Structure 1
Amino acid sequence: MVFYLEALGNVFGIVLISALIPQIQVGAWTYHYSDQKVYSWNASRRYCQTFYTDLVAIQNQNEIAYLNEFLPYYPHYYWIGIRKINNVWTWVGTNKTLTKEAENWAENEPNNKRNDQDCVEIYIKSPSSPGKWNDEPCLKRKRALCYQASCESFSCNHQGECIETIGNYTCSCYPGFYGPECEYAKKCKELDLFPGNAFMNCSHPLGNFSYKSKCNFYCMEGNRLNGASTLECLASGEWTAEIPKCLVNECPSLKSPERGNMNCSYSSKENINVSSCRFSCEEGFILKGEEVAWCTASGAWTAPVPQCEVVRCPDLEAPIRGAMNCEQSHGVFAYDSTCNFSCQPGYRVSGFETLRCLASGQWTSSIPTCQAITCDPLKSPVHGSLNCSSSLAEFQYNSRCSFQCAEGFVLKGAETTECDISGTWTAPAPVCHAIVCKPLLTPQDGKMTCVHPFGDSSYKSTCQFSCNKGFSLIGSDKLHCTISGHWTADPPTCRANKCPPLIAPPQGILQCSATQENLIYNSTCDFSCKRGLMLMGAQKLTCTASGSWTNPPPYCKAVKCPVLNNPKWGSQECSYNHGDSRVSSVCHFTCNKGFMLKGSENVQCLTSGKWTTPPPTCEVVKCPELAFPKPILMNCSHPWGFFSYESTCIFSCPEGQVLDNSPEIKCQAEGTWSKKMPTCQEEPLSVQKALAYFGGAVASVSGLVIGGSILALLRKRFRRQDDGKRPLSPQSVMGTPGVFTNMAFDSTS
């Protein structure tokens, strides 16, 4: 049995129907859920797509409130149609991204567990978060919450997107359409031709001058269309272009004359009657024909295009002892013709060697002449000499000169030169360059200082070498560039001064800034010892510039704590043997019977070489001091101190009284007395009792004598004390350790 809910405005009715699948219907859109089985998210979606449209795609808070109110509570809740795709939360039914505004996550969601929670459930009737969402692992099993779409294939007139809502649907119209069902098409402004010679033919698939309407335009014979031939009504309600116009025919297009130009009064877009074109020629050409042509109403020009003829210059002749050679592209001695002039051997052209025919019909200059050839004077090169076959003042055609350089210099250029027919030397004067040695490089980790009197790395150059701190020079410290072009020796190098390799001390660790083969200047090595050992020496060694270490290598020495002695009246048990009290060694202390430990029971050896605490001591156990009523006699011995372990006290009563308990008590190891202290009771004293009191002496004459004597002495002593009014001393009461002490208290005192 399931529930069927139908929404009628704001009134909801509940009707019981017989079905296998529970559903909640709102208008034409129904909700459905699985109450017989629970599924994973993927299985839930297959279930919804098999029987309905898809998992629910929630669109607003009203829908959430509706679902929370009418769906039954299920402790594991319901799957809905949101899933993380490419790390983005997406409505799977519409393939649209979940927007920030549409989110309805519960507090601290989503991804509070941060591990594969890619599917979403809705809390239906949750006590704390009703209607809220939570992300869960997709394999968990929950009820599937489905919907049956209300949109049909004909919804929105195929002119918009059908969007589901609670109890209804809405249409999101495509561009160009509007209305509740997208039934209306947008309209464009109606087209109206201006009076003239134009025609229009239109088609209106969605209504007159509406979206997608098309209009084609034509002109009468003898006219041409100015503008777009077809206009279309766009989704925006605007036409694709302005209405075109028909213009009258134009005169035929004209071309510029060869070697000329044309300038017309009409633009490139229109060529109406009474337009004109003016013609001109390029430089060096003259116009033959009408300079201006007009376009008549009949579409014909008043004159043909004129021609441009080339300008000509006067004829030329070759000079005496010379020759002339001309290039004439536009005709003999015509515009832009060029003539080159030359002279016989031993002579050269005086004037311009080349003449050109100008646009004015004149040559650029007068005809040149031929004069005898001489070359420019020569000078000896620096660091060299000059030797010529003619006097230095003439240097005529065919003169010959040779050059030489001083020692240590080489000639750069020709060794000889001749004055040729053109009046120039066959080669320029050479120069003398100093012989060059191969350039030297500053040694790595070193310095180089050079002097070059004749140029870099040249003859007589000298270079001085040195090395940086921590390096030694290998080779000569000074080189010279010789006349042979070689240095006096190979360039030196700088070799790092290395310190001797180090090894880790026994039971120690060595860490260096470089390998043992590369311990150079400023290299460092750090030493440390394993637990329980102490480094003896410098912890860090540095390699000096001279290749020695700043200190000798350290070594590791075992850390030991001082040997502990047994406490007086006690003993110890240690984890080390023969006084080898290393780190972590532990000693346990105990006291003899009757003594108690003062201090820590266990001590441990630390890495600092000290014990965790000072060793404990043993103190004797004390019993409570005795306080007793009068009169009574007490005789105590104290082997270890007053009223301490093994202290023994013997009690007796004055004459005429007897003890009610044992006469002897003893201080035990746990700090308590062995028995309760006795008290004295009045009783006539007979000889027999006296004998019993003093240890049960044998009833003999000698025993009676001794007992009587003791009693007599006791009476005499107490009588003397009473008569003298002298108080008892502390020794007489407490006794002295190791001896017996008599104490008596008279009931009359």
Structure 2
Amino acid sequence: MAPLALLLLCQVTLYTTVTSKKACGRPPVPDGVDVSSLKSMYDVGEEVTLACEQGYTPSTTAPRKLACTPAQEWTASDLACTPRTCPIPRPLQALVPGRTQVPFKTVLNYTCDEGYVMNGANESSCLADGTWSHPPPLCKAVNCALPKAPRDGRFVFDKTHTATTTMYGQGWTYECNPPKAPSFERGECKADGTATEPPVCRDVSCSIPEGIPNGFITFAVMRTHGYKETVRYACNDHYVLDGQAEIQCSNTGNWSTKPVCRAPCSVNIKRGRISYNARKLWIADLKPNRVLHGEHVVFYCKNKVEKCGYPVASTCNDGTLTLPECFEEPGKVEYTLRPKTLPSEITMCGPLPSGPSSSAAPA
């Protein structure tokens, strides 16, 4: 039995010797280091030379060796691998304000707007040498055939056009031989590469034009009107025209939108001072008491804490002039005997309205 016991003892001793040998595992390395040649285990004293991957720049030119120490630890290394960069194509720099470079391995994906087709690669990668795999593509506008003219009519391009095709976004107007009107007036080269089909020319008329409140038709024969015929309006005295003075009979048989005559306003205070048309005046001197639509009137309020006055503007809106909430109309005695104590006459908290001022006393 002794030979068998000796054999088992030798096996145990051999196993112990192999497994107790000191070693280091794979060294920890920063991003960008080439790990293709690294092993999973290293003997004590064994060295490893680190290098950056292709496309990365080393932070130092000094030796970048690591050694496995008896403590089964790796010596330190200050190597850092910085990715190289590619310049952002100039047309795209506006999309990333403040940046002109992007790192290695960046991928740009290109798309064209609706109505444009791509000429070139739709993807480009930043390569290890700092260049792009593909140049930026070109986006070319879709082409359409020339539009067809309507029967009994024609089309007119928005801009001078001599080519045998049209491009996406180009437009034109359809016209019919008078007195006919096109069923629609506009055409264009569309994103799908087709041009608008021509309209139908047909007889159109608009009803006898109607008047407007506080206004009148300046001159018109009271009859039905044909396509593109016009009528012009004006307002009564002191009313302001809001909208286009001239309306036109459209291709739908309807008139374009009529204007509106906006009413003047009265300044509804009996006592106080205002600023109107760059003039500072007492309300009694506003003759006639009338402010046109859209005009501004400045009232004066009092800051009771600071004991100063400040201007607040209000605008006439179609017969309504709203008094500022802070405005307090003075009493008759205060207005007549102590006008210099009114908010309009004391020191101003804020800027005064521009223009000359009046110093006349109140009536």
Is the pair's TM-score, using the shorter chain for normalization, greater than 0.5? no
Bigger RCO (CA 8 Å, 6+ sep): 2
Query: TM tier, shorter chain?
Result: 0.3 to 0.5
Provide TM-score, normalisation by structure 2. Answer: 0.36
Greater C-alpha radius of gyration: 1
